Amino acid sequence: MLDKNTNYGFFIRKLFFPTVVILPPVFIALTTHNLKKLVEVTGSYPGVFVQYIFPVVLAYSARKFCLKTFGNFENSYSSPFQGRFWFIFILGWAVPEEKRTTSLFKSNAIKLHTSSLKSAPRGRNWIWVGDLHQETVAGDIIKHFKQTFPNSDILAFDLKSKSLKKSFKVGSLKITTDDMLNPLSWPENISVKPFRSLRKTKGTEPADD
């Protein structure tokens, strides 16, 4: 515990404390690649503490200190929310609600001949392919897929990246996403990931198989 009456040395004041403060965010920044998850964690749990937990602790501690120091007295500027109920209410509000998950499954194998229900045609599997040479065209992507997956039905869209490296939206009905993302299916230093964007793809028309 820090003591305000203690004179800490140069190492503690100038090296130890700054290092303890700086190292955790630097470590997290260097080791975290999922920015979405990082924003979710840092923006939720620390945010709850800053907005709810810390104010409750500070207000409760300050009231105990004032009561001990000054005793009971009438404060004309006191808050109408001074009851302990409000502390409990705020702490209860800060408790994270359990995230509801929806169970998703696909029925298997048994065909019900009496049913009039039919499944919709399966959609195309899309992936993002990036870090390609700027001279790469959609036809090169399709040619590569035909060498790896003969008789593949590939569509490729040039995403018109503004950087020097080109990227494409690539899709197939017959090839699964896992197979398309297999690192063994791609040359070295080419990036591939599932295509998640909801924006309308801008670019050339899909090249013909």
Can you list the domains of the chain with their CATH numbers? 10-72+81-94 (no CATH), 125-194 (3.30.70)
Per-residue model confidence (pLDDT) at position 74: 78
**Choice between 5 and 44, residue whose per-residue pLDDT is larger:** 44
Per-residue model confidence (pLDDT) at position 97: 66
Per-residue model confidence (pLDDT) at position 57: 92
Per-residue model confidence (pLDDT) at position 121: 62
Per residue in 168-182, pLDDT tens?
999 888 888 888 888
SS3 73: coil
Contacts of 76 (CB under 8 A, 6+ apart): none
Per residue in 29-76, pLDDT tens?
888 877 778 787 777 788 888 888 999 999 999 888 888 888 887 778
- Burial (CB count within 10 angstroms: exposed 0-12, middle 13-18, buried 19+), residue 122: exposed
